[in-house]
Structure 1
């Protein structure tokens, strides 16, 4: 193939071409981590699950309470008002409304220590319930429940009824204030194809409801179910970066990670204080019958500085593990 030089290209044309290339690269590097108040394009990595997607025992962190919750109080969805997001938010705090879409639920209180079916819906900009969702990472809806002090975590994949009502099978929650997150991609209407993360709070009364555990100190290593998980990287808020995660057991590298949500691990993060949400994607997808490890690289762009609690989920031997650790973002 013969290449021809272009010695007479106008300097301004060359500058424009370089600028366009830089812009394209910036778009390519844009991360999937996002504040819950902003739209989130989750790209192609998966965070659904291939087996027992809605199992209420989807994993807990070594320091966390078992996530999920108590008695449901009704089957309708519109009640229990939740403050809408400011049109010009000054923080990365989550909200129930974004781009005309609103997360609704008639459940504002749950009973401690009792599993529950938490029902919710998404209202579209035209006021109707959204029923058309795009499959994203093998699931149409990804649902999270996180205690306000980040000591409890659940990641579930609820079922939707024909009327657009979703039901998430929550396991028993400890007393306190919990925040729920619905991560989805509308497949019709305004913003079709663009990911959103909407959030509401739910109260679990009981002894210790007002107590808050201190966030564990930032560390690059944690253990869960006999596995040692090591995270390396120094993310800076608003900048594209990488986190490298290594898996070991009894001092030996782990190479039998099984596919989970079309990747070999799933990583979400929540910021201490305002509970902003970020979803970090592995840079390698998993083959259906393949195995992975001992290291994975995650594309990370955190929306704000501060201390973030990371929840890393991975599967071995058919069992789902959830490791938690704290990461400081500059």
Structure 2
């Protein structure tokens, strides 16, 4: 959100694919099927939890707490692992994790950089190594990119969402905009296209220090709407920790509904949401079908956030070739 008080940045706009049509692409059909299977699995787990042996006050669904959102091969009650879906994050067995680990299941985010200079654009070098200890070079395109890279300061300001470049040997470089002094967390989201965990999404992170006098920005109060670049973004939905729930995003301008959203990363929006305190990350995409440059005014996303408290949300959407980043604080009970 462009407020003038926060140091929020975004990457250069990524134009929507000219091949977007009125029909869903094959991978989005697969996502929709996965979502339907996930909903059915949740219902079965809920019924099982409400069986005769369940007492009032007992937990209904094992594995729905924050700790259970880490990746695993099998979800509670044997629910199989499924690939991450647009619009859904935090589902046991499907979640790529909360992004707070440097290494998971043999995959590791490596970088020699532990500090970065303040006040100037800077390149952050890193590699992703696999279970064999070698740099991974074969990645699946997810939302049109081989790797998504995020940066956020410890007070949840300075958001950046980038798409780094990779050399043939697996060395990545992320071109970061100027960083304010403070402690930063840098995340890499990727899906290996080969190896023991082919097709499984991972989100790993490392921290860096930007030297200088750091001035923390208080987290804005939770709200259900905000404005950016003349657009009003309203978010509706009741979020409860450990419970999957829909979020409805409505975008308007000058009091009129916006219906010319363009595809951005093969969807009409991208939502990155960070937990206050530990910087846990979830990223969501609408399940709303893409119909060329005719998106809006309403988008539907699904979220399962495992931890109560305040989350800082950054919604990115594109109109007329311009990328907009709206920020607001959401509260999870």
> Does TM, scored on the shorter chain, surpass 0.5?
yes
Aligned to 2:258: 254
Q: How many residues align?
A: 259
- 1:165–1:23 CA distance, 2 compared to 1 (3 A): closer
| Unmatched tracts of structure 2, length 5 or more | 1-35, 46-65, 72-81, 88-96
**8 Å contact 1:263–1:286 — kept in the other structure?**
yes
Aligned to 1:327: 330
Structure 1 counterpart SS, 2:119: coil
**8 Å contact 1:110–1:205 — kept in the other structure?**
yes
Aligned to 1:269: 273
271, 285, 308: which one pairs with 1:281?
285
Where in structure 2 are the equivalents of 1:46-61 lying within 5 Å? none
Q: Normalization by structure 1: what TM-score? A: 0.74
**Runs (4+) off by over 4 Å:** 21-24, 27-30, 34-37
Aligned to 2:296: 293
CA deviation profile, 1:163-188 (whole Å, cap 9, x unmatched): 11111111101111110000000111
Deviation of 1:151 after TM superposition, in Å, equals: 1.3
| Unmatched tracts of structure 1, length 5 or more | 1-20, 46-90
Aligned to 1:25: 40
1:192 aligns with 2:198: yes
- 1:293–1:181 CA distance, 2 compared to 1 (3 A): same
- 1:229–1:173 CA distance, 2 compared to 1 (3 A): same
Deviation of 1:303 after TM superposition, in Å, equals: 2.5
The 2-side partners of 1:35 and 1:184 are apart by 21
The 2-side partners of 1:317 and 1:134 are apart by 28
The 2-side partners of 1:313 and 1:104 are apart by 28
1:305 aligns with 2:320: no
- 1:114–1:152 CA distance, 2 compared to 1 (3 A): same
The 1-side partners of 2:103 and 2:127 are apart by 12
**8 Å contact 1:36–1:199 — kept in the other structure?**
no
Deviation of 1:290 after TM superposition, in Å, equals: 3.1
